[in-house]
């Protein structure tokens, strides 16, 4: 029996990506487009001019930002080495990589990796300038420190050139910046954990269902675009959908997780609110100017038609709200996928349904124990109490979680009376 413990992103690494670039070369062009794409794909990205207020360009701030990031993208352009600020960043990034496994992706933008390794062309010119300044330094101690720093920069450039990186002139992108940025996003998506949806820390019994859905999402089929996760309330349908969404959303051009559709769609302007969320999730912009469902459907069709999208429609109890929010599935672009969670098996064809079963007794005991005691099994004095809870909950994860959390705050002598109350509920 496998237990998965999902943890929230550590506060010590609030950024997914630290973006290092030479502003003179790429600030308003490639680096700006790359930054925008990273943010649109859900990566919390640090770039110095965006995250630091004017006048706060301090080395101490820089030294905080890099360790607070899970990865670094280093855009090495023609004039990268002419910035001592960039070279200092590079040294700190590579030190972080050596000591903590920090993910580093060199991006060679109109520069050959061999130029960086051998330090030729513009890089050679920059270092000639640094070395001349060093020779002109009359302070022997200062000169020694300058030489040491220059050597550190040279070593860092050699080291980063030897790492596996991405090259704008690679045959797969052939100089096309949009394709190049897509390739960078894909690399970061594979190598950097980024989970946009919160998942409870204790999960049991979902492995087989998650594996089946992942195989369908990744099979490359353009025909079968809809799957439904079905089962009774509290069985774990939404949790499975969240896990799958977190694991796969980076592989699509856009994604949206619409929660509680059945409930929201019954509220005033509910379908319109869901449409606005869908449009905002895919376009990464607010769309408050959409005032009715018909305009919303037109926006959605124009927005999602040219993109491969992953959509999760949670807690759908009938087909009509689904069409009101999304329109018809044939609008979707080739390779798009739609996951529905529902209590009703009649929602789709049998081959499109994945049924979630109740937890067995051993799984129930473990899941309850994790929520009540933060351990895989109950303390010996609580064994009989635990068995009674498992019998009451009948394998429903939500019930086991709620009761476990509630009883975890009770004294042992209070458990018996609480269980009597629970057992009296029809």
Count of other CB atoms within 10 angstroms of residue 138: 6
Checking 115-124 for CB contacts under 8 A at 24+ apart, the result is 116/76, 116/157, 116/158, 116/160, 116/161, 117/157, 117/158, 117/161, 117/162, 119/81, 119/154, 119/157, 119/158, 121/78, 122/78, 122/79, 122/81, 122/82, 123/80, 123/81, 123/157
The pLDDT of residue 307: 81
User: What is the value of pTM for the model shown?
Assistant: 0.61
Which candidate, 76, 105, 284, 255, places its Cα nearest to that of 192?
105
The per-residue DSSP string of 192-223 comes to S----S---SEEES-HHHHHHHHHHHTS--SS
pLDDT in tens, 359-387: 999 999 999 999 999 888 999 999 999 99
Which candidate, 355, 367, 281, 364, places its Cα nearest to that of 325?
281
Token pair belonging to 377: 């099994």
In this prediction, residue 287 has a pLDDT band, given cuts at 50, 70 and 90, of low
The pLDDT of residue 195: 59
The pLDDT of residue 9: 38
Which candidate, 394, 386, 371, 397, places its Cα nearest to that of 205?
397
Token pair belonging to 323: 């069409």
Residue 1 above 60 pLDDT?
no
The pLDDT of residue 135: 85
Residue 107, SS3 per DSSP: strand
Average pLDDT over the chain, rounded to whole?
Answer: 84
What is the DSSP code (8-state) at residue 112? -
254 Cβ contact partners less than 8 Å away, ≥ 6 residues apart: 281, 282, 283, 304, 307, 308, 309, 310
Would you tell me the crossing angle of helices 397-407 and 383-393 to the nearest 10 degrees? Answer: 140
User: Helices H, strands E: what count in the chain?
Assistant: 19, 12
Residue 58 above 70 pLDDT?
no
In this prediction, residue 39 has a pLDDT band, given cuts at 50, 70 and 90, of confident
Q: What values do phi and psi take at 103, rounded to 5?
A: -75, 125
Residue 76 above 90 pLDDT?
yes
In this prediction, residue 424 has a pLDDT band, given cuts at 50, 70 and 90, of confident
In this prediction, residue 10 has a pLDDT band, given cuts at 50, 70 and 90, of very low
Find the range with the poorest average confidence among 52-61, 294-303, 330-339: 52-61
The per-residue b/e assignment along 94-129, b for 16 or more CB within 10 angstroms, e otherwise, is: bbbbeeeebbbbbbbbebebebbeebeebbeebbee
165 in Cβ contact with 108 (< 8 Å)? yes
359 in Cβ contact with 204 (< 8 Å)? yes
Radius of gyration over every alpha carbon of the chain, rounded to an integer in angstroms: 27
221 in Cβ contact with 72 (< 8 Å)? no
78 counts as catalytic: no
The active-site residue out of 56, 61, 63, 89 is 89
Measured CA to CA, the distance from residue 240 to residue 357 in angstroms comes to: 12
Strand partners, 351: none
SS3 track for 6-24 = CCCCCCCCCEEEEEECCHH
Q: How wide is the angle at C-alpha 368 spanned by C-alphas 364 and 373, nearest 5°?
A: 145
Q: Which residue has the higher pLDDT, 4 or 262?
A: 262
The pLDDT of residue 151: 95
In this prediction, residue 288 has a pLDDT band, given cuts at 50, 70 and 90, of low
Measured CA to CA, the distance from residue 59 to residue 255 in angstroms comes to: 37
Q: Kindly give the residue spans of alpha helices, DSSP state H, lying in 66-166.
A: 84-100, 113-118, 121-135, 140-161
Residue 155 above 80 pLDDT?
yes
Mean pLDDT of 63-75: 89
105 Cβ contact partners less than 8 Å away, ≥ 6 residues apart: 71, 72, 73, 74, 165, 166, 184, 187, 188, 191
Q: How wide is the angle at C-alpha 150 spanned by C-alphas 147 and 156, nearest 5°?
A: 140
Mean pLDDT of 220-246: 88
The pLDDT of residue 53: 39
Indicate the pairing of strand 226-230 with strand 254-258: unpaired
259 in Cβ contact with 313 (< 8 Å)? no
Find the range with the poorest average confidence among 80-89, 128-137, 312-321, 375-384: 312-321
């Amino acid at each position: 029996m496998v237990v998965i413990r999902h943890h929230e992103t550590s506060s010590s690494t609030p950024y997914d990506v630290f973006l290092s670039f030479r502003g003179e070369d790429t600030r308003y062009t490639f680096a700006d487009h790359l930054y925008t794409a990273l943010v649109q794909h859900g990566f919390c990205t640090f770039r110095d001019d965006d995250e630091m207020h004017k006048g706060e360009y301090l080395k101490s701030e820089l030294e905080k930002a890099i360790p607070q990031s899970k990865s670094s993208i280093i855009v090495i352009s023609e004039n990268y080495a002419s910035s001592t600020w960039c070279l200092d960043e590079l040294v700190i990034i590579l030190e972080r990589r050596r000591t903590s496994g920090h993910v580093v992706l060199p991006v060679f933008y109109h520069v050959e990796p061999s130029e960086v390794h051998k330090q030729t062309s513009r890089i050679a010119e920059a270092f000639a300038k640094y070395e001349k300044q060093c020779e002109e330094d009359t302070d022997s101690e200062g000169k020694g420190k300058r030489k040491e720093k220059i050597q550190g920069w040279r070593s860092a450039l050699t080291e980063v050139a030897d790492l596996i990186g991405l090259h704008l002139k690679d045959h797969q992108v052939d100089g096309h910046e949009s394709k190049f940025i897509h390739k960078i996003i894909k690399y970061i998506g594979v190598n950097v954990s980024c989970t946009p949806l919160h998942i409870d820390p204790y999960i049991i019994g979902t492995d087989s269902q998650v594996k089946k859905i992942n195989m369908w999402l990744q099979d490359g089929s353009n025909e079968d675009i809809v799957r439904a996760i079905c089962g009774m309330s509290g069985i774990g349908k939404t949790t499975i959908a969240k896990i799958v969404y977190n694991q796969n959303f980076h592989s699509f051009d856009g994604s949206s997780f619409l929660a509680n559709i059945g409930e929201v769609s019954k509220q005033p302007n509910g379908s319109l609110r869901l449409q606005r969320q869908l449009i905002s999730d895919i376009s990464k912009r607010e769309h408050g100017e959409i005032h009715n469902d018909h305009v919303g459907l037109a926006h959605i069709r124009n927005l999602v038609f040219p993109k491969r999208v992953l959509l999760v429609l949670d807690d759908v109890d009938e087909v009509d709200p689904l069409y009101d929010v999304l329109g018809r599935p044939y609008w979707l672009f080739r390779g798009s996928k739609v996951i529905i969670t529902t209590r009703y098996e009649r929602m789709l064809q049998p081959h499109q349904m994945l049924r979630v079963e109740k937890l067995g007794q051993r799984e129930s005991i473990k899941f309850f124990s994790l929520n009540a005691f933060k351990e895989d099994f109950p303390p010996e004095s609580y064994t009989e109490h635990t068995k009674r809870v498992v019998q009451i909950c009948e394998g429903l994860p939500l019930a086991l979680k709620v009761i476990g959390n509630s009883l975890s705050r009770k004294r042992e002598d209070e458990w018996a009376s609480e269980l009597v109350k629970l057992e009296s509920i029809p």
